[in-house]
Structure 1
Amino acid sequence: MSTKTIRMTRDEVPVEETWNLEDLFPNELVWEAELVSVQEDVHTVTQYQSRLGEDAETLLGALKTLEAFQKRLIRVATYAMLRTSSDGTNPEYQAGSAKVASAFADIGAELSFVESELLTIPEETIENFIKEEPNLQTYEKMLADIMEKKPFTLAPEIEKILAALSEVHDAPYMIYERSKTSDMQFDPIVDHSGRELPMSETLYEDRYEMAADTVTRQNAYDSFIKTLDQYKHTYAATYATEVTKQVTLAKLRGYESVTKMLLHSQQVTEEMYENQLNVIQEELAPHMRRLAKLKQKEYGLDKITFCDLKAPLDPQYNPTTTYDDAKEMILDALQVLGAEYSAIMEKAFSERWIDRADNVGKQSGAFCSSPYGIHPYILITWTDMMRGTFTLAHELGHAGHFYLAGKNQELVNTDPSTYFVEAPSTMNELLLAEHLLEKTDDNRMKRWIISSLLDTYYHNFITHLLEGEFQRRVYTLAEAGTPLTADVLCREKKETIEHFWGDAVEIDDGAGLTWMRQPHYYMGLYPYTYSAGLTVSTAAAQQIKAEGKPAVDRWLDVLKAGGTLKPLELAKKAGVDMSEPNAIKEAVAYVGSLVDQLEKSYD
């Protein structure tokens, strides 16, 4: 039976399994009209060109106008992105995304004067404007952040040219995603009984990679790797272009390195970045090697290989659940965060914020997009595996965060640094695990929950952290002038994985191709931030368990703060100090204690 006869097309999907895009625009015609309108209305902002330094009133008027215009742009872009994510094979959706990219390149070029012009105004003048006009205090952090860019900003005409080229700059990511959703085809697989099963990237990542049946898992891995191998040279050229872009921009702007440039936008020190990569790799590896050996023993394997690492520890116990049951579990677990937060979670389910369908062309993985002034949108592919409950809770954590930030902050102050952004999402996973452990007396179920919690740490402390280590290696090579061919990228990825797992796991050449799985490499230094967020949430979750309401109140205050504080200050507001490696060490030690519990349960 072929994949095409099993997976629905988008128009076959029941509406209740899809998100409600009408909350953004009633229909495509209204969206297209707004796309045209925002291009025509850019003059409402450009009328302030060469006037930002006139007086406080003019500056306030310009920033308010810009913010109102940006809200419109966000809605237009989000609509196009969500449609393409739901079905990347749809030519109308592809064309819509292309229209947005082209229009936004022009708009970005027109609006580039704002930052360039602000940088020409003396800081003392801006400080005086803020004193004269109290309403400018809303924009105080934004203005301060722009001033920090002053040493690295190019001449206004050059900044305008770079902004006009945004569509070209974004092309590597667009090509990568378009290819993954529209071009990649995978051979069907067979399980241990000889039954043929459909295969896709989504099915592999959401089901087969965690399959208890070793034959299914191995065959799916072989199919997955076979297809990746067919695309490696194209994807290497695409990723190399992205890296070259970043390295070139870093040099043009006068940064010491591309790493310093990318960390600058996150408002993170190089020491904080290095702590995450170094401490976790060095101190977590021994714990996870023990877990790998435990899986090898339970499966009766002569050796444990890369494709076995995400297999369930108990091969005969991999519980399933319905979407409705998962919903109730999540809602019950998150009641600890109070009535206000719980109400947001209820709205997510009742108002169709979530797209859970599995259809041809749908983007793999999961994400949450939160257009300001509307509500968050969550993409997930529901497969009835109970592990998906944790993924859904994770994305709802992002939704709760940005919903609260949007309700309590103006647009300019909603987005925190990516260094912090994964803390609210992983917090929900930790609270879900704690809740499930409290609700069961079944030792086998408890063991599964602990294993699922370890999956969360695996995802953030291993999968994404090793992506971060891979990035560190790639940027080092690029700055040294080494061509980033497919062979080089595969070698570096394989060596990164081998270094972490040592002799405990056999790493085949196919593992080296897995740098092709994630879009995160096109998002700056994003992968390592998953571990930073989970470090913060681990400490904060322990505080909630120990203190109750006072810790919950601190956490909700942090979510409502949005981007008003730098990541170090946000973490401290939650009661966690990330300026030193202690919180990272404690989180790793907690993971070690979970492995201890599993080992004892099998003695």
Structure 2
Amino acid sequence: MEQVPKRKLPVREEIDSSFKWILEDIYQNDGEWEAEFSQVKEQLPGLAKYKGKLGESPQELLQCLKLKSEISLLMERLFVYARMRRDENNTNGKYQALTDRASSLSVQVGSASSFIVPEILSIPEEHLIGFLKEEKELALYDFYLKELLRQKSHVLSAEQEELLAQAGELAGAPGNIFRMLNNADLKFPKIKDEDGDEVELTHGRYIQFMESPDRRVREEAFKAMYDTYRKNKNTFAATLNSSVKKDVFYSRVRKYESALKSSLDDDNIPVEVYDNLIQTVRSNLPVFYRYVDLRKKMLELDELHMYDIYVPMVKEVEMKMGYKQAYETMMKGLAPLGEEYASLLREARDHRWIDVYENEGKTSGAYSWGAYGTHPYVLLNYQDTVDNMFTLAHEMGHALHSYYSDKEQPYLYAQYTIFVAEVASTVNESLLMDWMLKNTTDKKEKMFLLNHYLEQFRGTVFRQTMFAEFEKMTHEKVEKGEALTPETLSSMYYQLNKDYYGEQVHIDQDIEMEWSRIPHFYNAFYVYKYATGFSAATALSQQILQEGEPAVERYLNFLKSGGSNYPLELLKSAGVDMTTPEPIQSALDVFRRLLDELESLVNEA
């Protein structure tokens, strides 16, 4: 089964099992999940016996931290399994319930362990350093403990931390409400496809329609999508407003100057990195205007609309890419990373780490996830396009980053930060694109691929930076005591589109509603990492291609480092310095060169 029919979205049982992930690699059945759930509940009271004793001896501290890690690892497995089962079909009440129970237990775990950090920080620093010297097994926790000391001024008393932990479930409500409304309850109308047949609009099909050569299909899908969101604008605005208020609340409680500073401090990232990104991208918008102007010319349009942004500019080339072919092509593109990396890609495909096709109720989009001690998983909603092949490569970058981190790091440091996460995914995309450009002799196909690569820049650098600026604006408004009404959100978002796309594009009024469908806005100050990660990855992929083995070794060591150091330091060791605007500007210089090349090919035609 290489392709799922497009007419009717299949139910999950209709998907060939070879294209569905095997979550039994985490738990053989739900009974095992229940047993481990009970185990966590039984172990949880054991944490209380350490309360008030962490400063008494290094041994007490060590045993408490060991128990906390053990419980956290089991909790991670419980939540990941329940949530991924729910993601298979969000309308399945059984796994909605399991996810809710896992969320509730996670809050209980947070509450029961909330005394640990404040109590560690109440130990005089010289005593804590003495503990590290006295108890050799505490050496594992050296970076962890020193990181706690760095953030000491933002940690509250044990009682206050416990109260915040108990509020965790409430804090997650805006995101949960958005996901259920967006994935389970929101229904889109049918539109007529290129053949005039009625087809249901879905999250997964939307971009496919946006890439249609038939402008009527693009416009119809665009208007149908945003009409649906506009009808629910008050609910979406209230939900996003609540999420932003939650961010501001936590930042103030923890004595940060702003929600932005609070978010960045987790990774020890200076605010200047965020501001550098916005300023550098804004200063390079004229070259982006050149790109959209070329798009208008190549599409032979009198007026470029927002629904013309995704359609391939090289109309004569239609590069369909079925899943099996996409996987084989990706393997060729990633060959510079070595045979071990290739063998892991084969294992992921053959042992069903990947959930490939869209089905009714399945969570939209794509992600890589998993739990320590088992292999990572990838969720896709694969459509037969080149773009989806790059999504596959992107998510496999995340997956193998997780695999290497889990294999080489103890549980405590296996989880890499989001700041470096997008580097691994984008290196994969860059290497794959390099291979395709080098192995394409057809001029039209080369133009098509250049278009795709430029689109990666548009979507990952320009678009995500616009998102980042929108997030900064929404949080600043709430911090000033202003309300985020549907009108306020839409007005800000519309103006940003005008700024970023310029006069070359007719900014359709409907685009003002796009803020309502972006799930990343419920994980504040996340999207800027796509742009910074893309820039770092551009540099690293060039090093891999130009230097070969030494660069590959540095890069694989970076993948194996997990969260064992600050992300800026990990990237420096791999070969890029993100504390300056230079990597952002270098990436935008690559964009300029690619644009020059495409313009040259167009002029030759």
Band of TM-score, shorter chain: over 0.9
Q: Which residue of 1 aligns with 2:477?
A: 477
Q: Output aligned runs, 1:302-451, within 5 Å.
A: 302-451=302-451
Partner of 2:189: 187
* Paired position in structure 1 for 2:278: 277
Q: 2:403 & 2:379 partners in 1: Cα distance? A: 16
Give per-residue Cα distances to partners, 1:35-66, cap 9 Å, x unaligned: 23212221233332222222222222222221
Counterpart among 28, 33, 37 of residue 26 in structure 1: 28
Q: Is the 8 A contact 1:299 1:315 kept in 2?
A: yes
Shift of 1:440: 2.1
Does 2:552 correspond to 1:552? yes
Report if the CA contact (8 A) 1:52-1:58 is conserved.
yes
Report SS of the residue matched to 2:231: helix
Q: Which residue of 2 aligns with 1:563?
A: 563
Kindly indicate whether residue 142 of structure 2 is the aligned counterpart of residue 140 of structure 1: yes
8 Å Cα contact 1:535/1:587 also seen in 2: yes
Aligned partner of residue 47 in structure 1, secondary structure? helix
User: What is the CA deviation profile of residues 190-222 of structure 1, one whole-angstrom value per residue up to 9, with x for unaligned ones?
Assistant: 1354332221122103x1122222111111111
Shift of 1:135: 2.4
Moved more, 393-402 or 564-573: 564-573
Query: 1:520-553 CA distances to partner (integer Å, 9 max, x unpaired)?
Result: 1111210111001111101111111221111111
Structure 1 counterpart of 2:96: 94
Q: Give the structure 2 partner of residue 163 of structure 1.
A: 165
- The answer to which of 237-246 and 54-63 deviates more is 54-63
Q: Any conservation in 1 of the 2:209–2:221 contact (CA below 8 Å)? A: yes
Pick one of 66, 78, 92 that aligns with 2:68.
66
Q: Are 1:259 and 2:249 matched, yes or no?
A: no
Q: Deviations over 1:270-324 (max 9, x none)?
A: 11111112211221x2222222122212222111011111111112323111211
Q: Can you list the C-alpha shifts for 1:441-479, whole angstroms capped at 9, x where unaligned?
A: 111222222222222222211222211110011111111
CA distance in 2, matches of 1:319, 1:227: 31
> 2:289 aligned with 1:289, yes or no?
yes
Instruction: Give the C-alpha shift of residue 224 in structure 1.
Output: 0.5
> Deviation of residue 502 (structure 1)?
1.3
| Greater mean alpha carbon deviation, residues 177-186 or residues 436-445 | 436-445
Q: Are the counterparts in 1 of residues 418 and 526 from structure 2 also a CA contact under 8 Å?
A: yes
3-state SS in 1 of match to 2:334: helix
RMSD across aligned positions (CA): 1.5
Question: What's 2:12 paired with?
Answer: 10
Q: What secondary structure sits across from 1:197 in the alignment? A: strand
Q: How far apart in 2 are the matches of 1:185 and 1:148? A: 47
Could you list the per-position Cα deviations for residues 4-50 of structure 1 after superposition, in whole angstroms to 9, with x for gaps in the alignment?
Answer: 97011122222111110000111122212322321222123333222
Query: What CA deviation, in whole Å up to 9, does each residue of 1:326-364 have, x standing for no partner?
Result: 111111211211122222211111111110121011111
Conservation of the 8 A alpha-carbon contact between 2:8 and 2:199 = no
Measure the CA separation in 2 of the matches of 1:237 and 1:526: 21
Determine helix, strand or coil for the equivalent of 1:412. Answer: helix
| One-letter identity of the residue aligned with 2:366 | A
Deviations 1:211-266 (A, max 9, x none): 22211111111111111111211011011111111112222221111111111112
Distance 1:312 1:402 in 2: 33
The equivalent residue for 2:210 is: 209
Give the structure 1 partner of residue 593 of structure 2.
593
Classify the secondary structure of the residue corresponding to 1:430: helix
**CA shift digits 1:552-579 (9 cap, x unpaired):** 1111111111111111111111111111
In structure 2, distance between residues paired with 1:209 and 1:271: 36
Query: Hey, what's the Cα distance between the residues in 2 that align with 1:489 and 1:296?
Result: 28
Query: In structure 2, the residue corresponding to 1:89 is in which secondary structure?
Result: coil
Whole-Å Cα distance in 2 between the matches of residues 106 and 67 of structure 1?
15
SS of the residue 2:266 aligns to: helix
Match of 1:119, SS?
Answer: helix
Query: 1:214-225, aligned counterparts within 5 Å?
Result: 214-225=215-226
CA distance in 2 between partners of 1:437 and 1:136 (Å): 50
**Contact 1:235–1:516 (CA under 8 A) maintained in structure 2:** yes
Contact between 1:209 and 1:220, CA under 8 Å: does it hold in 2?
yes
Structure 2 counterpart of 1:268: 269
Matched residue SS, 1:246: helix
SS of alignment partner, residue 42 of structure 1 = helix
Q: Distance in 2 between matches of 1:453 and 1:128?
A: 53
Residue 122 of structure 1 corresponds to which residue in structure 2? Answer: 124
| Equivalent residue letter for 1:378 | V
CA distance in structure 2 between the aligned counterparts of 1:158 and 1:434, rounded to whole angstroms: 52
The equivalent position to 1:149 in structure 2, one of 148, 151, 173, is 151
Which residue is equivalent to 1:529? 529
The answer as to whether partners of 1:454 and 1:591 remain within 8 angstroms in 2 is yes
Instruction: Single out whichever of 13-22 and 133-142 deviates more from structure 2.
Output: 133-142
Q: 2-side partners of 1:335 and 1:132: how far apart?
A: 47
Letter of the aligned partner of 1:278 in structure 2? Q
Match of 2:368, SS? strand
- State the distance in 2 between where 1:417 and 1:29 align: 32
CA contact (8 A) 2:91 2:184 kept: yes
Unaligned runs of 5+ in 2: none
Aligned residue identity for 2:388: G
The offset of 1:89, in angstroms, is: 1.2
1:100 is matched by which residue type in structure 2?
Answer: A
| 1:57 counterpart residue number | 59
Residue in 1 that maps onto 2:493? 493
**Paired residues, number:** 599
Return the letter of the residue paired with 2:515.
Answer: W
**Separation in structure 2 between the aligned mates of residue 360 and residue 193 of structure 1, nearest angstrom:** 23
Asked whether the equivalents of residues 299 and 315 of structure 2 are also in contact (C-alpha less than 8 Å), the reply is yes
CA distance in 2, matches of 1:33, 1:415: 25
Q: Which structure 1 residue ranges, 4+ long, deviate > 6 Å from structure 2?
A: none
Q: 8 Å contact 2:316–2:444 — kept in the other structure?
A: no
Query: What percent of counterpart residues are identical?
Result: 33
Aligned AA for 2:340?
Answer: E
1:500-519 matched pairs, under 5 angstroms: 500-519=500-519
**Conserved in 1, the CA contact under 8 Å of 2:356 and 2:380?**
yes
How many Å separate the matches in 2 of 1:139 and 1:497? 46
Amino acid in structure 1 at the alignment position of 2:478: A
For residue 542 of structure 1, what is the aligned residue in structure 2? Answer: 542
Mean Cα displacement is larger for which, 75-84 or 189-198?
A: 189-198
Distance 1:405 1:186 in 2: 40
Letter in 2 for 1:7: L
Which structure 2 residues correspond to residues 235-250 of structure 1 after superposition, within 5 A? 235-250=236-251
Give the Cα separation in 1 of the matches to 2:351 and 2:49: 39
Q: In structure 2, how many angstroms separate the alpha carbons of the residues matched to 1:353 and 1:455?
A: 28
Closer, same or farther in 2 for the Cα pair 1:218/1:5, shift >3 Å?
closer
Q: What SS does the corresponding residue of 1:541 show, helix, strand or coil?
A: helix
2:38 equivalent among 36, 39, 60: 36
1:152 partner amino acid: H
- Matches of 1:316 and 1:482 in 2, distance apart? 50
Which amino acid in 1 is paired with 2:229? Answer: L
TM-score (norm. length: structure 1): 0.97
Q: Distance in 1 between matches of 2:574 and 2:407?
A: 19
Say if 1:403 and 1:484 are closer, same or farther in 2 by CA, change over 3 A: same
Residues of 2 paired with 1:292 and 1:235: CA distance?
Answer: 30
* Structure 1: gaps spanning 5 or more residues: none
Q: Which residue of 2 aligns with 1:231?
A: 232
Amino acid at match of 2:58: A
Partner Cα separation in structure 2 for residue 224 and residue 436 of structure 1: 33
Corresponding residue number in structure 2 for 1:583: 583
Secondary structure of the corresponding residue to residue 311 of structure 2? coil
